[in-house]
Amino acid sequence: MTNDVTTLLVRLESMARRRGPDMLIGLAIFAAFWIAARITAGIIDRAAARTDESKRDVILLLGRTAQATIVIVGAIMALSNMGVNVNALVAGLGLSGFALGFALRDALSNVLAGVLIIMYRPFKRGDTINVTAIEGRVTSIDLRYTTIEADNKIYLVPNTTIFNNTITVIQRITP
């Protein structure tokens, strides 16, 4: 029994001597990417605070996406440096991304349409519009829905519907 423990400890020591520097370098790489992601997030948060409210959500969404991407790339590079074969991991991430994209197709199209509506601003909060037989005052525009209020009712219209149909701006609110 003691011989087995001794053999195990010798193997662990040997592995630590061989892989130790690579593991430390891998951890340093991941730490550098983590810090870069945090710095990026801080810069984007400050930029979002300086923009008008209508574009803030888009900037924050892009910032979170950039931060996650930096951390994932850093993790893959660190694991690769540590001697882990990351080919299967990268292929799995690609297939998972494809499957999620296909499963969330409608939600993602609403988010993309929301981003385009916020960027192009065909109408803004407070305008009275007509889209797909719904006429009312726009109370909010977010990444997934545009909220229209009419006749004491609140309509949540998916942004894809608004983006793909004709919009009539009946009354524009001037600043």
Nearest of 135, 116, 147, 32 to residue 81 by alpha carbon = 32
CA distance 31 to 25: 10
- pLDDT (tens digit per residue) in 133-148: 899 999 988 878 899 9
Band the pLDDT of 173: cuts 50, 70, 90.
confident
> Looking at the predicted structure, is the pLDDT value of residue 39 above 90?
yes
Whether residue 116 lies inside any domain: the answer is no
Whether residue 111 lies inside any domain: the answer is no
Instruction: Report the CATH number at residue 60.
Output: 1.10.287
pTM greater than 0.75: no
Rounded to an integer, the average pLDDT of 3-12 is: 75
Same domain, 83 and 155: no
CA distance 57 to 38: 18
Residues 6+ away with beta carbon under 8 Å from 162:
113, 117, 131, 146
Whether residue 163 lies inside any domain: the answer is yes
> Looking at the predicted structure, is the pLDDT value of residue 21 above 70?
yes
Same domain, 27 and 82: yes
Residue 132: helix, strand or coil by DSSP?
coil
Whether residue 108 lies inside any domain: the answer is no
Residues 6+ away with beta carbon under 8 Å from 152:
none
Predicted confidence at residue 175, as pLDDT, reads 62
Whether residue 118 lies inside any domain: the answer is no
Q: pLDDT > 90: what percent of the chain?
A: 28
Predicted confidence at residue 158, as pLDDT, reads 93
Query: What count of Cα atoms within 13 Å lies in the side-chain half-sphere of residue 39?
Result: 6
Band the pLDDT of 22: cuts 50, 70, 90.
confident
